[in-house]
Amino acid sequence: MNDDVWSWLESLKASGYNPSLDNAATLLNRLDMPQQAFPAVHVAGSNGKGTCCAIMANAFTLSGKCTGLFTSPHLISVNERIRIDGSPIADVLFEDCLKQIQEASEIVPEISPTFYEATFLVAMLAFRDQGVERAVIETGLGGRLDATRLVDADCCILTEISLEHTEFLGETLAEIAEEKVAIVRQGRPFVAVWPYDSSARKVIERAVRDHDKAWWWRGDRRDAFPFSEAVKAFRPLSSKTWYDGWMPYQEEAAMLAKSALGAMRSFYAYDEIEQAVRHTNWPGRMQWLDVDGIPFLLDCAHNPSGMARACDQIRFQKTRDMSPMPGVIVLGCTTQNDLGIFLQPLVELIVEGQIGHVIVTQPPDGRKITVDCEELASMLEEQGTAASISAVRSISDAISAAKGKAIELDSDIPQPILCIGSIYLIGEVLPIIDVDAEKNFQNTFIPPKGVDGVDPIA
């Protein structure tokens, strides 16, 4: 292993966030424009974009195309950011691409990319090197100034938007929408989740010149509509379609991906969406695991709308007897624009579910600074719940304490433990509860198995 090149990558973390396309554009040019070797679907948004990307990429793989997937951040290993047909690229390929980037950055005038930009460039080189026929690319932050905007996209998707990264993207939903919708490629298909905030909706509609190639995906109607028709009178759902106003996040992501594939006229992949859902492994997103007989539920609810959505799904599945209510919560998060708003859905779940124990811990800092566990515990205590709230700085100790509480509540059938908050929290929890986490949770595609390649799930 070339330690020098990995050390160089690690050193780039000090660069932080770069609100400019200049460095990435210059380096792509020096590397002979690898991003032009394949078409890409480009996905932005605040919540659900990673799930949408993973399902769509797997649909392309199942349709027979060699497919690259770029996402961020990673849970355990940086290789997770760059996958081909669901598998992270190997260290040797990562190193080779990284070395090319390092050498390109040293050409005068020298350029120092950020850690994120470097991983994006590795993806572009790896995809070209491995003959990728189709890529699915997730933005990192925003859209207008995100390096991924430089890919050759023949379709763009905008998932749900919410107030996040306000220090970079703006203080209102309209301002954030303006940053994210900048990924649109005029004249090419664009599908966006319908925002109920009218100012954000107007910003998005103004950004798209050709409304015949733009669709609103509306969860309340379970369908996509051209921009010009989305406000027409509501038509009752078919009696054959069961819908009570709410759906699991994975189902919504799959339907959004399917709508985009239809808009692209990628019908082979379109026909594989249902299979793709069954063959998608997207760890840390409403993920149930059994650990020594104790059920664990993991979710990267990193912003207020993500927290609200996760709590709604837990509540919904409990009322439908689809999964039990957690008995213990392990919480850790990064700084929020309004910590009280972020915590409110969880507080409501604690009260409604009569959850008796909350253990607040300290995930490592990532792109955003972690909220001190003592401060977070104090904020929860101020909400006046009956739950016992404790701060345990070590994540390993927090998990041990949570397992003890789960068994204490019911030694025969231990109560489920909900681990929720920052993606960096989930990234630390997975290796603690599963020693083979790096092997078990890095592949996003679960290959079909069976006699003569026949999928037994189908």
User: Are 251 and 323 within one domain?
Assistant: no
User: Are 144 and 210 within one domain?
Assistant: yes
Does some domain include residue 253? yes
Residue 289: pLDDT band by 50, 70, 90 thresholds?
A: very high
Number of domains in the chain: 2
Burial class (CB in 10 A: 0-12, 13-18, 19+), 241: exposed
Give CA–CA dist 180/305, Å, rounded. 16
Name the β-bridge partners of 87.
Answer: 84
User: Are 274 and 256 within one domain?
Assistant: yes
User: Are 203 and 316 within one domain?
Assistant: no
Do you find a cis peptide bond into 304, omega within 30 degrees of 0? no
What is the percentage of the chain residues whose pLDDT exceeds 70? Answer: 93
Token representation of residue 217:
């995906």
Does some domain include residue 323? yes
Give CA–CA dist 132/89, Å, rounded. 12
Does some domain include residue 456? no
Give CA–CA dist 340/352, Å, rounded. 18
What pLDDT was estimated at residue 232? Answer: 67
What pLDDT was estimated at residue 237? Answer: 53
User: Are 206 and 230 within one domain?
Assistant: yes
Does some domain include residue 450? no
| Long-range own/partner contacts, residues 52-55 (CB < 8 A, 24 or more apart) | 52/157, 52/159, 52/253, 52/254, 52/256, 52/257, 53/136, 53/137, 53/138, 54/280, 54/282, 54/444, 55/250, 55/253, 55/254, 55/257, 55/273, 55/276, 55/277, 55/280, 55/282
What pLDDT was estimated at residue 228? Answer: 81
- In degrees rounded to 5, what are phi and psi of residue 37? -85, -5
Question: Which contiguous run of DSSP H or E holds residue 204?
Answer: helix 198-207
Average pLDDT over residues 314-323: 85
Give CA–CA dist 416/403, Å, rounded. 9
pLDDT of 240 > 70? The answer is no
User: Are 58 and 203 within one domain?
Assistant: yes
Q: Which of the two residues, 149 and 336, has the higher pLDDT score?
A: 149
Structural domain boundaries enclosing 139: 3-282
User: Are 96 and 234 within one domain?
Assistant: yes
CATH of residue 91's domain is 3.40.1190.10
Q: What is the pTM of this model?
A: 0.91
Give CA–CA dist 25/70, Å, rounded. 17
Tell me which of 256, 282, 308 is where a domain ends. 282
What pLDDT was estimated at residue 234? Answer: 55
Does some domain include residue 390? yes
pLDDT of 458 > 50? The answer is no
Tell me which of 282, 306, 325 is where a domain ends. 282
The number of beta carbons lying within 10 Å of the beta carbon of residue 198 is 10
Does some domain include residue 128? yes
pLDDT of 451 > 70? The answer is no
CATH of residue 356's domain is 3.90.190.20
What pLDDT was estimated at residue 129? Answer: 97
8 Å CB contact between 201 and 161: no
Average pLDDT over residues 159-169: 77
Average pLDDT over residues 128-153: 96
What pLDDT was estimated at residue 408? Answer: 94
8 Å CB contact between 134 and 67: yes
Q: Are strands 417-421 and 294-299 parallel, antiparallel or unpaired?
A: parallel
User: Are 206 and 116 within one domain?
Assistant: yes
Q: Is 220 left (phi over 0), alpha (psi -120 to 50) or beta?
A: alpha
Tell me which of 282, 310, 327 is where a domain ends. 282
pLDDT of 363 > 50? The answer is yes
pLDDT of 241 > 90? The answer is no
What pLDDT was estimated at residue 100? Answer: 98
Residues 6+ apart with CB under 8 A from 360: 331, 332, 373, 376, 377, 380, 389, 390, 391, 392, 398
8 Å CB contact between 118 and 41: no
Token representation of residue 400:
């041990």
What pLDDT was estimated at residue 456? Answer: 45
User: Are 53 and 166 within one domain?
Assistant: yes
User: Are 260 and 340 within one domain?
Assistant: no
User: Are 299 and 267 within one domain?
Assistant: no
The per-residue pLDDT for range 53-89, each reduced to its tens digit, is 999 999 999 999 999 999 999 999 999 999 999 999 9
Give CA–CA dist 328/437, Å, rounded. 22
User: Are 317 and 275 within one domain?
Assistant: no
Token representation of residue 453:
């390649």
Does some domain include residue 449? no
The number of beta carbons lying within 10 Å of the beta carbon of residue 89 is 23
Residues 6+ apart with CB under 8 A from 452: none
Token representation of residue 299:
């979710």
Burial class (CB in 10 A: 0-12, 13-18, 19+), 333: buried
Does some domain include residue 445? no
Average pLDDT over residues 399-419: 94
Interaxial angle between packed helices 115-129 and 91-105, expressed in degrees from 0 to 180 and rounded to the nearest 10? 120
Distances (CA, A) of 410 to 146, 300, 356, 405, 427: 48, 27, 13, 9, 28
What pLDDT was estimated at residue 338? Answer: 87
